[in-house]
Structure 1
């Protein structure tokens, strides 16, 4: 679940990219990179690590230029290695190309195998390089036609920002799995990003969601918009609102904070329980816990102290890292929990590692009972569109009943919001969402893997 940003400006974009990437750090914490065009050539800076650790004043000063793209990465395809850091860069027919990708291609392995059989050598292990190769292969005179031909070859989730000959290019897959927002400042800067926060920080006053299948090219002549014609249905990833997006994100006309809060309110009716306090698992569980507490009348309390210098635990690449990160990130407050019946509210249970760890430690801190309430349905199926759940054996809900899950995580009771309740909280028709991780209904057939 990476984050991408692209900026076209009349002035240097390096610091704007830096601030924008910082505001997208929650979407990926393994690596970050920027590519900036200075009017003659692309300048690249990318490494493993966090945005603040990679880009100091010295690095930013080297990245002077008026067009640029950036990326923060959480690995799905390819693994967490230096050679997979984005944006990717290439030279094709004398033209410099840079590209950053959020999503996951379903058919990348098939395409990669065919390209390798034709003698193509790859420098990375990620699906993005297949996409980059296709774009360069079709790139002659018409950028838009090259993008359309590329889109006709790839299947799955992709929200892309790219630079070609100093032009900023953005396009989104026909299903619209991953978000992409575009806006313009009063000074004429054009910003494209995974969420609205970077645009607001940079000073964009007018913004909109890019439509599924939309292709945008920005150059000195302004913004031109094109469409890739497709019969694919609109399927926004509902897990974006459950977990990945920032609370202040409004993407595809849904605000993440209000969605989470409404989920908590609905769950308080679907799964009521007697308790003394409602405690959130911060941060994405906090709005839901507020909604649950206010609707149920049970007091809200902070029962888990969060280390603000820790990242998100779900997107750590290994189970061991997740377990250690949970201990470092969240610490139960015994003075709040002691002798209390607690309702702990979280956004989801994927592997169960975090939940079992927290419940055990809350009881060690003196909680009399811990009742777990989850504001998404059980995650029973892997996601092939950009979430790191590649196999059902990693998903606790795919292998155990709810009662068995309750026993494994050590809760006194366990309940999930219904699918109907979650859709109600979105205030949108249910058929615009991809809900495959909950119901196994995949909009793009994963058999292509």
Structure 2
């Protein structure tokens, strides 16, 4: 039995700016630094003297905005933007954000990073009450809740709506007079505030986007907070005090750029420390340490430094291969892997190699990389994973919805090792990951969400509860019989 390559994908990245004469272009640069968070669609809404205009489309940011006339159309001193990876909704134009709503009393733009766990129930309730949806995205739900609120001001309506939606959300909204950022009560996804030298305020999913836009870091948006930005500056308010940190651990392991800081922790440094912990937990005699490009390079350097084994570039990634390579035959699929990744024969031939990777999802990619290394002459390939086994689905914005997609949920480490063809396989322990990241919040797992690894979800699962419990009783066989 053969399986298509399965990789982890995060839902999206958001960026906004208030008070810059070329806001849309700055937003473009900010989104470009967040492109790793979503490659299926992109959009920007600009605010010119209270009039909101939008352009959006399928594909990478550069593809969506390849025509300069789009930027000329998006004149204005404020803007919000979005790069998208579809998780629970279809990749149609109507689902590409930011959404732009036209009401009799004004316009509102909305962008969202995350996934609502009670979206189906809320949508059903709203539709039964006469609401008409224009997308299948859970993002649209927030705006309908705002419009149905009987509170007096927009901020009061928003606060009420934020207490109704559940799950993971980093929202960015803009109307004629203000831009508002909001984070869920657990802070699953990163969201940060900065300021440029000309006084313009910036909101972004990661601090790397602040650096690109030339903004100086002000603060992270904390769980349960909303940040209101207008021509008078910014202010922070709370919509709930029922908060507890549960930052998605996979942000540090895989999703975020290594030059970003999340909750004051540099991502590269966290990955390097997890690699160091991995070397302490799983030493092995070898000639070299190599990392799987690109997200595993930091962990590999940490492993090499602690173990004293030289770090080498044994794998090279072709940066110019299209992000998706799906072919109709197994032979062509394997050729696609070779186009994306190459083993350096002159480095690995005749050597005992430690291959460090950040995670194993289905195991298909790991199996092919081990095969590449051995075909290039590697004498032994010892696989070390800088995170615990992924055994449980995510309901907070990552496209893993069932245990059937996860090889570690159905097989032992030894079974996985044998199937991928490694000479040894070891995963980092949960405590090794927690200590490596180094958060220190007064919360379970020091403020991390570790549900992918141990099934300890920090919130109720609402609409997903029944299917999740059913999945725990099912067994799926991935491996060749």
2:170 matched residue in structure 1 = 159
Matched, 1:28 2:43: no
Shift of 1:312: 6.4
Partner residue, 1:115: 126
1:97 corresponds, among 87, 91, 108, to: 108
Tell me how far 1:371 sits from its aligned partner.
0.8
Report deviation, 1:323: 7.1
Q: In 1, Cα distance between the equivalents of 2:333 and 2:114? A: 22
**Shift in alpha-carbon separation, 1:353–1:132, aligned structure 2, 3 A:** farther
Match of 1:306 in 2: 317
Asked whether 1:380 is paired with 2:380, we answer no
Question: Of residues 113, 117, 140 in structure 2, which corresponds to 1:129?
Answer: 140
CA RMSD of aligned residues (A): 2.1
1:1-58 Cα deviation digits (max 9, x unpaired): 2100010014120110110000000111111110111114211111111111111322
Unaligned runs of 5+ in 2: 1-9, 465-481
- 2:57 corresponds in structure 1 to 47
> Partner of 1:207 in structure 2?
218
Whether contact under 8 Å (1:175, 1:235) holds in the other structure is yes
Residue 18 of structure 1 aligns with which residue?
Answer: 28
CA distance, structure 1, for counterparts of residue 241 and residue 33 of structure 2: 32
Quick one: structure 1 residues 324 and 436, their matched pair in 2 at CA, closer, same or farther if it must change by over 3 Å? Answer: farther
TM-score (norm 2): 0.89
Paired residue secondary structure (2:163): helix
Does residue 443 in structure 1 map to residue 458 in structure 2?
A: yes
Matched, 1:81 2:96: no
Question: Relative to 1, partners in 2 of residues 1:180 and 1:324: Cα closer, same or farther, differing over 3 Å?
Answer: farther
Displacement of 1:229? 1.9
Q: Quote the Cα distance in structure 1 between the aligned partners of 2:370 and 2:224.
A: 44
How far is the alpha carbon of 1:82 from its aligned partner? 2.5
* Residue number in structure 2 paired with 1:357: 368
User: 1:41-440 to 2 correspondence within 5 Å?
Assistant: 41-56=51-66, 57-138=68-149, 141-310=152-321, 326-429=337-440, 430-440=445-455
* Pairwise CA distance, 1:432: 0.8
Q: Is the 8 A contact 1:178 1:236 kept in 2?
A: yes
Structure 1 position 120, deviation (Å): 2.1
Answer yes or no: is the 8 Å Cα contact 1:7–1:190 preserved in 2. Answer: yes
Distance 1:393 1:290 in 2: 32
CA distance in 1, matches of 2:143, 2:433: 37
**Offset at residue 392 of structure 1 (A):** 0.3
| TM-score normalised to structure 1 length | 0.95
Cα distance between partner residues in 2 of 1:336 and 1:33: 43
- Which secondary structure state, in structure 1, belongs to the residue aligned with residue 156 of structure 2? helix
2:362–2:407 contact (8 Å) kept in structure 1? yes
Contact 1:67 1:166 in 2 (8 A): no
Q: Which runs of 5+ in 1 are unaligned?
A: none
Q: 1:155 to 1:395 in 2, by over 3 A?
A: same
Q: Whole-Å Cα distance in 2 between the matches of residues 339 and 31 of structure 1?
A: 44
For the residues of structure 2 that align with 1:122 and 1:428, how far apart are their CA atoms? 40
Give the Å deviation of 1:162: 1.0
Q: Distance in 2 between matches of 1:137 and 1:218?
A: 24
